[in-house]
């Protein structure tokens, strides 16, 4: 099926989400990029705001979307004090289509959707979330950059599933690395469970559920063990699992690097990802600690504008380049 922006032919339902085969998501010209980081304060919003500017400077049409539902602050990092519309207008049906609430930023080719703060928005109803996902995919931009909230709620995970590229932000500290691993585990098991549901076999779903708990089920500790056991029940299940796992290729962004030692912080997680989750990182990108970030925030100005020559700005430009070259 050819996806057509105007006709909105692809209804993104749960099965499509699960398989990652929704044509709207995977074949359209819009690149949805999810900026995630399960640990709070690791730099998701700093990176999203400045990355959007960097992409627009590379001549790409970009919209930065504040999806930190209930705790939005991307506007501050972009230096936008007031916004005519917010995501609340879309969630409360005050506007019909998401493109109606895209705000101008004053930066060429860059739009912005301000976050919503109505009570309960953090627990967006499933049908509302699907409507939002459809509308995000219909935006007429080259890149739709999602600044997501901390944590590993299904709201976060589902936006990650529909994105074409994921930037998983972590700092070199152990708690952040461990949170990143747990987030990936949630993501992998959610994708597996959703995809395997299609086989309509309770034994398979029970097995996947059991494998989450490695303490009680050490024989299913490694992903290879789970895949083999699935294959013994139904060969299609192991084939499907292998396909799902091959499709999960997060890009890790190691932020706030201060030393050479920090640069290697992702080695441990890469190992865990391979062995226990059966997935590989697409790339590991580095962003250095830079006082320019704090100074720019204090002035409510984006670093890319305030200090385009800073180390942080250069690192962000590298990420933008990677996104434009990665297919």
The residues binding ligand ATP (CB under 6 A) are 37, 40-46, 68, 149-150, 255-256, 287, 289-290, 293-294, 297, 312
Pair of tokens at residue 1: 């099926």
39 belongs to the binding site for Mg ion (CB under 5 A): no
Q: Which residues are within 8 A (CB) of 22 and not within 5 positions of it... i.e. 6 or more apart? A: 10, 12, 16, 162
Q: Which residues are within 8 A (CB) of 83 and not within 5 positions of it... i.e. 6 or more apart? A: 75, 103, 112, 114
**Minimum CB separation from ligand ATP for residue 321, in Å?**
18
Taking the least distance from each CB to ligand ATP, the nearer of 179 and 238 is 179
Taking the least distance from each CB to Mg ion, the nearer of 44 and 131 is 44
**Minimum CB separation from ligand ATP for residue 207, in Å?**
34
The per-residue b/e assignment along 205-232, b for 16 or more CB within 10 angstroms, e otherwise, is bebbeebbeeeebeebebbeebbebbee
Taking the least distance from each CB to ligand ATP, the nearer of 75 and 255 is 255
290 by Cβ neighbours in 10 Å (0-12 / 13-18 / 19+) ranks as buried
**Minimum CB separation from ligand ATP for residue 295, in Å?**
9
CA atoms within 13 A on the CB side of 200: 0
Closest residue to bound Mg ion by CB:
45
Q: Which residues are within 8 A (CB) of 127 and not within 5 positions of it... i.e. 6 or more apart? A: none
Pair of tokens at residue 243: 């396909």
- Partner whose footprint covers residue 60, from ligand ATP, Mg ion, none (CB < 5 to 8 Å by kind): none
**Minimum CB separation from Mg ion for residue 68, in Å?**
5
Which helix or strand (DSSP H or E) is residue 212 part of?
Answer: helix 202-212
| The only residue of 19, 45, 155, 255 in contact with Mg ion, by rule CB under 5 A | 45
Taking the least distance from each CB to Mg ion, the nearer of 66 and 142 is 66
171 belongs to the binding site for Mg ion (CB under 5 A): no
Q: State the residue for tokens 């998983």.
A: 168
- Partner whose footprint covers residue 163, from Mg ion, ligand ATP, none (CB < 5 to 8 Å by kind): none
Radius of gyration of the chain (CA): 20
Taking the least distance from each CB to ligand ATP, the nearer of 13 and 73 is 73
**Minimum CB separation from ligand ATP for residue 43, in Å?**
3
- Partner whose footprint covers residue 290, from ligand ATP, Mg ion, none (CB < 5 to 8 Å by kind): ligand ATP
What is each CA distance from 19 to 124, 128, 131, 229, in whole angstroms?
A: 22, 20, 18, 21
Residue 62 CA, chain-centre distance (Å), reads 16
Give the binding range for Mg ion (CB under 5 A) out of 41-49, 100-108, 134-142, 154-162. Answer: 41-49
44 belongs to the binding site for Mg ion (CB under 5 A): yes
Taking the least distance from each CB to ligand ATP, the nearer of 198 and 292 is 292
Return the DSSP state at 41: T
Binding site for Mg ion (CB under 5 A): 44-45
């Amino acid at each position: 099926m050819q996806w057509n922006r105007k006709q909105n032919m692809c209804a993104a339902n749960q099965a499509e989400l699960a398989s990652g085969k929704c044509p709207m998501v995977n074949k359209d010209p819009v690149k949805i990029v999810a900026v995630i980081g399960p640990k709070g304060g690791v730099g998701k919003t700093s990176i999203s705001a400045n990355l959007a500017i960097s992409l627009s400077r590379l001549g790409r049409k970009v919209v930065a979307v504040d999806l930190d539902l209930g705790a939005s602050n991307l506007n501050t990092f972009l230096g936008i004090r007031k916004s005519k519309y917010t995501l609340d207008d879309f969630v409360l049906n005050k506007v019909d289509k998401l493109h109606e609430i895209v705000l101008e930023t004053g930066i060429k080719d860059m739009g912005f959707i301000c976050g919503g703060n109505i009570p309960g928005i953090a627990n967006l109803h499933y049908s509302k979330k699907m409507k939002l996902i459809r509308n995000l995919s219909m935006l007429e931009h080259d890149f739709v950059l999602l600044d997501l909230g901390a944590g590993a709620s299904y709201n976060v995970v589902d936006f990650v599933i529909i994105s074409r590229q994921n930037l998983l932000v972590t700092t070199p500290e152990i708690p952040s690395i461990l949170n990143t691993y747990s987030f990936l585990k949630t993501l992998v098991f959610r994708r597996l469970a959703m995809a395997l549901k299609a086989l309509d076999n309770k034994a398979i779903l029970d097995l996947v559920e059991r494998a989450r708990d490695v303490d009680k089920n050490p024989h299913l500790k490694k992903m290879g063990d789970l895949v083999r056991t699935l294959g013994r029940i139904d060969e299609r299940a192991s084939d499907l699992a292998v396909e799902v796992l091959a499709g999960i290729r997060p890009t890790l962004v190691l932020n706030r690097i201060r030393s050479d030692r920090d640069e290697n912080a992702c080695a441990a997680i890469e190992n865990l990802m391979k062995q226990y989750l059966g997935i590989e990182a697409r790339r590991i990108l580095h962003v250095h600690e830079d006082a320019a970030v704090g100074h720019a925030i204090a002035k409510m100005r984006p670093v890319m504008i305030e200090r385009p020559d800073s180390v942080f700005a250069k690192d962000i430009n590298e990420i933008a380049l990677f996104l434009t070259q990665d297919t």
